[in-house]
Structure 1
Amino acid sequence: MKKVAAAASVSVGTVSNVLNAPEKVAPATVARVQAAIEQLGFVRNDAARQLKAGRSHCVGLVVLDIGNPFFSDIARAAEARAAEKGLVVLLGSTDDDAERERQYLETFDQQRVFGLLVSPASDDLGRLRALRERGVPVVLVDRDGRETPFSSVTVDDVAGGRLAVEHLLRSGRRRLVFLGGPLSLHQVAGRLAGARAAIGEFDGATLEVVPTPAPTVLAGRRAADALLAEGFRPDAIFCANDLLAIGVLQSLITQGVAVPADIALIGYDDIDFASSALVPLSSIRQPSARIGATAIDLLVGAAGGAPTENVCYQPTLVERASTIG
Structure 2
Amino acid sequence: MAVSVRDVAELARVSVGTVSNVLNRPEKVSPDTVERVQAAIQELGFVRNDVARQLRVGRSRTIGLVVLDVRNPFFTDLARGAEERAAEASLSVLLGNSDEDARREAAHLDLFEEQRVFGVLISPLAHAMPRIERLRAHGIPAVLVDRADEDLSFSSVAVDDVAGGELAVQHLLDLGRRRIAFVGGPMDIRQVADRLTGARRAVARVPGATLEVVETDAQTVLAGRAAGERIRERPRDERPDAVFAANDLLAVGALQALVMSGSVAVPEEIALIGYDDIDFASATVVPLSSIRQPSVLIGRRAVELLLREAADPRSPREHVVFQPELVARASTLGRS
Provide the TM-score with structure 1 as the length reference: 0.96
Any idea what the Cα deviations from partners look like across 1:185-207, whole Å, max 9, x if unmatched? 11111111111111111111111
1:265 aligns with 2:269: no
Q: Name the structure 1 match of 2:292.
A: 285
Partners of 1:60 and 1:113 within 8 A in 2: yes
**Corresponding residue number in structure 2 for 1:112:** 116
Cα deviation code 1:156-213 (max 9, x no counterpart) = 1111111111111110111111111111111111111111111111111111110011
| TM-superposed deviation, 1:26 | 4.1
Counterpart code for 2:243: I
User: Per the alignment, in what secondary structure is the counterpart of residue 269 of structure 1?
Assistant: coil
CA-to-aligned-CA distance 1:80-136 (integer Å, 9 cap, x gap): 111122221111111011111111111111111111101112323111111112221
**Is 1:242 aligned with 2:242?**
no
Is 2:88 aligned against 1:84? yes
**CA distance in structure 1 between the aligned counterparts of 2:48 and 2:151, rounded to whole angstroms:** 42
Structure-1 residue corresponding to 2:259: 253
SS of 1:96's partner is: coil
Q: Where does structure 1 differ by over 6 angstroms across 4 or more consecutive aligned residues?
A: none
CA contact (8 A) 1:221 1:247 kept: yes
For 1:237, the aligned partner's letter is V
The residue number in structure 2 matching 1:180 is: 184
In structure 1, what is the Cα distance between the partners aligned to 2:12 and 2:194?
Answer: 60
Is contact 1:98–1:122 with CA below 8 Å preserved after alignment?
no
1:144 aligns with 2:142: no
Q: Deviations over 1:5-26 (max 9, x none)?
A: 2333332222222222334444
TM-score computed with the length of structure 2 as normaliser? 0.93
Identity of aligned residues (%): 62
The equivalent of 2:47 in structure 1 is 43
Write the mapping of 1:1-325 to structure 2, written as runs, cut at 5 A: 1-231=5-235, 232-256=238-262, 257-305=264-312, 306-325=315-334
Q: Determine the C-alpha separation between the residues in 2 that align with 1:252 and 1:281.
A: 13
**CA apart distance, 1:255:** 2.0
Structure 2: runs of 5 or more not aligned: none
Q: Which stretch of structure 1 is more off in the superposition, 205-214 or 11-20?
A: 11-20
Please say if residues 148 and 154 of structure 2, whose CA atoms lie closer than 8 Å, have aligned partners that are also in contact: no
Between 285-294 and 266-275, the greater mean CA deviation after superposition: 285-294
- The structural deviation recorded for 1:33 is 2.6
CA–CA distance in structure 2, aligned partners of residues 152 and 271 of structure 1? 22
Q: How many residues align?
A: 325
Per-residue Cα deviation, 1:62-88 (whole angstroms, up to 9, x for no partner): 110111011111110111111122221
SS of the residue corresponding to residue 268 of structure 1 reads coil
- More moved, 96-105 vs 117-126: 117-126
Q: Is the 8 A contact 2:118 2:140 kept in 1?
A: yes
- Mapped to 2, the partners of 1:311 and 1:28 lie a distance apart of 40
- Equivalent pair of 1:146/1:310 in contact (CA under 8 Å): no
Tell me, in whole angstroms, the C-alpha distance in 1 between the residues paired with 2:156 and 2:30: 41
